Amino acid sequence: MNRRGAGVVFVAIAAFLLGIRYLTAVMLLPGNNGWSWDYYHEILAKSGGTLLTLSILSLVVGIIYLVLADFKKLFQVKENWNEEQEKIRDWDESLHSPSSKDDKPS
């Protein structure tokens, strides 16, 4: 698996963990007391500290992998660009240099 694929997997894991955190808080709400916004945030704060930390860590690792994959490709593009420029420069010099056929009469 390349770095871009690994980065996408880590970002997907972060999204999954973040979603599980909110689903856990909803499942812990009691059904008979009704739904309260303040009570939901209290349960969310008590139940999801580890999931939040792991999701943030996974997101950071995924972004780092994605950035590294693009930097590697950026350097490869720059290297290819330099090679093409060198070919063009050689071709241009060959057009302007006198050849052995120029000296011979037709």
Angstrom distance (rounded) from CA 82 to CA 69:
20
Type of residue found at 78:
K
Q: What is the mean pLDDT of residues 27-44?
A: 76
Task: Output the pLDDT for position 43.
Answer: 81
Angstrom distance (rounded) from CA 17 to CA 51:
6
**Verdict on whether the full-model pTM lies above 0.85:** no
- Written as six digits, the tokens of 36 are 């309260």
